[in-house]
Amino acid sequence: METNPVPHKKTPEIRTLIEGQDFQQKLATLLPDGMHPRRFVQIVWMAVARNPKLQQCTPASILRCVGELAAMGIEPDGRRAHLIPRKDQCTYIVDYKAIKESLHRNKDVVSEHSDVVRETDIFEFEYGSNQFLRHRPSIRERGEIIAAYSIVKLPNGGEAIEVMTRDEIESVRKRSQAGNDGPWITDFAEMSKKTVFRRLSKGLPLSNRTREVVDHDDDTIAPSELSAPKRATVLPESFVPASPQASTAQADLELASEELPSEPPDLERVLQKVHEAGFSQDDLLETLRAIRFGGKLEKVSDISPRKAKQLLEDIDTLLEQIKQRQSHEAD
């Protein structure tokens, strides 16, 4: 019989702090136009409530992360950014998706594509005066990730590429404070894309806002540095409010009885991405049949959970394949 986890004693204090009117008003001064404090707070609370280890973090460290992410306009929803507990300190990691959104929002690039290369893919590249990169994903079982790359076209007409081997990516992961948990374990493909793009970005003329998003997370910060952030986002001292005199017993009761929605299944997330890109479920099915992915597919529900997870990991490649198939049909 499953039971709800017992809320940590800090949890009521955290919830009262982030849901307070005073804190939300301060949050509104940091968030970019179009982002609502109430929604942002709900996303933060959902992340904390789902992770008992986050509930053991100090309220001040959670509010620091919330403030810095709000200033960058990044929601810690497990897709754009992840709240990560390290002992009693809350930290965060910015996801590749948030970096890509910032690139296009701030018009830093004309186009950008980062992806992972798997064992059976066809992949060629060359640096130098005649540099090029060619990646053709396999239409069969693609195997394990062996490399990752990033390629961008700049507004001035220039083009830049970067490639990292699996060993190089693993070396970065091992240096990370969150290398053995969090998105490095659950979303290795996305973290690989982020890693190779961060290396490429060192030589790109990015806007200050995008540069802050690319460099601004706790992924490689030593634990001794967590108490005092040393970044461009400077929060006012009054941003972290005083501890409220909340009714702990009442808050514990509310938490124990509250039912939280579950994370959407991988297939649902794939369908959402396909829809956001302007494609239909029929477009998805026809493309999967064309590349012979997943056997005989009569309907979307025929996609197995394991296949859905693989599609989600390589969602950018999948969307590009749908686009290419439609272009060929149009020709």
Mean pLDDT, range 81-96, rounded to an integer: 88
Whole-number percent of the chain with pLDDT over 90 = 21
Highest mean pLDDT among 13-27, 58-72, 262-276: 58-72
Mean pLDDT, range 133-162, rounded to an integer: 93
Tell which wins on pLDDT, 331 or 259. 331
C-beta of residue 214 within 8 angstroms of C-beta of residue 93:
no
> How confident is residue 83, by pLDDT bands cut at 50, 70 and 90?
very high
Q: Max CA-CA distance within the chain?
A: 68
Tell which wins on pLDDT, 1 or 129. 129
* pLDDT value of position 254: 41
Residue with tokens 């959402």: 272
Mean pLDDT, range 240-265, rounded to an integer: 44
Q: How many CA atoms lie within 13 A of 64 on its CB side?
A: 22
C-beta of residue 162 within 8 angstroms of C-beta of residue 192:
no
Residue 315, token pair as written in the block:
């969602």
Cα four-point dihedral sign 101, 103, 104, 107: positive
* pLDDT value of position 250: 38
pLDDT of 215 strictly over 90: no
Each residue of 305-329: pLDDT tens digit? 878 888 887 888 888 888 888 877 7
Beta bridge partners of 113: 151
Residue with tokens 């950014």: 81
* pLDDT value of position 169: 95
Each residue of 284-301: pLDDT tens digit? 888 888 877 766 677 878
* Number of residues written out for the chain: 331
* Nearby residues of 257 by Cβ (< 8 Å), 6 or more positions away: none
Beta-strand ranges (E) seen in the chain are 81-86, 89-94, 111-118, 122-126, 132-136, 145-153, 159-165
CA distances for 107 relative to 156, 197, 199, 208, 239, angstroms: 12, 16, 19, 12, 31
From the list 325, 311, 302, the residue with the least C-alpha distance to 270 is 311
DSSP state of 161: E
C-beta of residue 69 within 8 angstroms of C-beta of residue 76:
yes
Three-state secondary structure string covering 83-131: EEEECCEEEEEECHHHHHHHHHHCCCCCEEEEEEEECCCEEEEECCCCC
Tell which wins on pLDDT, 223 or 82. 82
CA atoms of 101 and 36, how far apart (whole Å): 18
Each residue of 161-171: pLDDT tens digit? 999 999 999 99
Work out the number of other CB atoms within 10 angstroms of the CB of residue 89. 19
Cα four-point dihedral sign 81, 86, 88, 89: negative
Tell which wins on pLDDT, 182 or 238. 182
Residue 213 exposed, middle or buried by CB count within 10 Å (0-12, 13-18, 19+):
buried
Indicate the average pLDDT of the chain.
79
Q: How many CA atoms lie within 13 A of 294 on its CB side?
A: 22
Give me the phi and psi of 40, to 5 degrees please. -60, -45
> How confident is residue 240, by pLDDT bands cut at 50, 70 and 90?
low
pLDDT of 99 strictly over 70: yes
3-class state of residue 159 by DSSP = strand
| Share of the chain residues as helix, strand and coil, in percent rounded to the nearest 5 | 50, 15, 35
Beta bridge partners of 82: 93
